[in-house]
Amino acid sequence: MWERLRSIWTVPDLRNKILFTLGILAVFRILAHITVPLNAAEQQALRDTFSGSQGQSGFGQLFGLLDVFSGGSLKTFSIVGLSVYPYITATIVMQLLQPIIPALQNLATQGEAGRLRFSQITRIVTVPLAFLQAMGSAALYAQKGILQNFSLIDPRYMLESFSILLALTTGVMILVWLGELITEKGIGNGISLIIFAGIVTSLPQTVQSGYVAATGSGGIGGGIVSIGVFALVGFLVLIGMVYLYLGQRRVPVQYPTKRTVGRNMLVGSAQTTYIPMQVNSAGMIPLIFASSMLLFPSVIAQYLTASSVTWLKNAAVFVTTWVVNPTTWWYWVLNFLLVFAFTYFYAYVLWQQQNIPENLQKQGAFIPGYRPGEPTSKYLGNILNRITLAGALFLGLATVLPYIARVGGQQLLGTASLLIVVGVVLDTIRQLEAQMVMRNYSGFLS
pLDDT at 72 over 60: yes
Find the range with the poorest average confidence among 62-76, 116-130, 294-308: 62-76
Residues 226 and 197 in one domain: no
Which pLDDT belongs to residue 56?
44
For residues 70 and 209, state if they share a domain. Answer: no
Q: Which of 68-72, 299-303, 400-404 has the lowest mean pLDDT?
A: 68-72
Cα–Cα distance for residue pair 5/3, rounded to 1 Å? 5
pLDDT digits (tens, 9 = 90+) for 408-435: 555 555 666 777 777 788 778 877 777 7
Do 72 and 214 lie in one domain? The reply is no
Of 134, 169, 201, the domain-final residue: 201
- Which range has highest mean pLDDT (68-77, 286-295, 336-345)? 336-345
In this prediction, residue 356 has a pLDDT band, given cuts at 50, 70 and 90, of confident
Q: Tell me: do 186 and 280 sit in the same domain.
A: no
Residue 229 sits in the same domain as residue 179? no
CA distance 122 to 116: 10
Residue 446 scores a pLDDT above 60: no
| The predicted structure's pLDDT at residue 53 | 42
Kindly state whether residue 342 falls inside one of the protein's structural domains.
yes
Percent of the chain, pLDDT > 90? 9
Judge if 140 and 61 occupy the same domain.
yes
Rounded distance between C-alpha atoms, residue 265 and residue 268, angstroms: 10
pLDDT of residue 391: 87
The verdict on residue 424 lying in a domain is no
223-233 mean pLDDT = 68
pLDDT band at 245 (very low <50, low <70, confident <90, very high): confident
Same domain for 112 and 216: no
Assess if residue 427 is contained within a domain: no
Q: Quick one: pLDDT at residue 125? A: 92
Residue 226 has pLDDT above 80, yes or no: no
Q: Where in the sequence is the domain holding 293, given as residue range(s)?
A: 205-413
Q: From CA 286, how far away is CA 347, in angstroms rounded?
A: 9
Q: How many CA atoms lie within 13 A of 385 on its CB side?
A: 6
Q: Give me the CATH number covering residue 165.
A: 1.10.3370.10
Q: Provide the pLDDT for residue 127.
A: 94
30 and 50 belong to one structural domain: yes
Residue 406 has pLDDT above 70, yes or no: no
The answer as to whether 222 is a domain residue is: yes
Torsion angle, CA of 316/50/172/88, rounded to 10 degrees? -60
What pLDDT is attached to residue 172? 92
What is the total count of domains within the chain?
2
Residue 142 lies in a domain: yes
350 pLDDT higher than 60: yes
- Segment 277-303 shows an average pLDDT of 75
Q: Look at residue 67 and tell me whether its pLDDT is greater than 80.
A: no
214 and 188 part of one domain? no
pLDDT at 8 over 80: no
Q: What is the mean pLDDT of residues 204-218?
A: 63
The size of the chain, in residues, is 446
Is residue 82 situated within a structural domain?
Answer: yes
When comparing pLDDT for 136 and 67, which is higher? Answer: 136
Residues 377 and 286 in one domain: yes
The mean per-residue pLDDT over the stretch 195-220 comes to 68
Q: Can you give the C-alpha Rg of the chain in angstroms?
A: 25
219 or 184: which leads in pLDDT:
184
SS3 153: coil
Give the pLDDT score at 55. Answer: 42
Helical packing angle, 111-143 and 58-70, nearest 10°: 140
Q: Report yes or no on 442 lying in a domain.
A: no
* Residue 24 pLDDT grade (very low, low, confident, very high; cuts 50, 70, 90): very high
Q: How far is CA 241 from the centre of its chain?
A: 14
Residues 383 and 249 sit within 8 Å (Cβ to Cβ): yes
Specify the pLDDT at position 328: 79
**270 and 150, same structural domain?**
no
Burial code of 211-238, b = ≥16 C-beta within 10 A, e = fewer? eebbbeeeeeeebeebbeebeebbeebe
Residue pair 255/271 in contact by the 8 Å Cβ criterion: yes
Given 201, 235, 250, the domain boundary residue is 201
Bigger pLDDT: 272 vs 387 = 387
Query: Do 90 and 177 lie in a common domain?
Result: yes
CA distances, 273 to each of 255, 265, 267, 369, 421 (Å): 8, 26, 20, 15, 30
Q: Is the dihedral of CA 65, 67, 69, 74 positive or negative?
A: positive
Give the tens place of pLDDT for each residue, 165-202.
Answer: 999 999 999 999 999 999 888 888 888 888 888 878 87
Tell me what the pLDDT averaged over the chain comes to: 78
Domain final position from 142, 171, 201: 201
Q: What is the reported pLDDT for 126?
A: 92
In the structure, what pLDDT confidence band is assigned to residue 26 with cuts at 50, 70 and 90? very high
Query: What is the dihedral angle through the alpha carbons of 131, 137, 141, 142, rounded to the nearest 10 degrees?
Result: 50
Confidence bin at 54 (pLDDT 50/70/90): very low
**Residue 430 in domain:** no
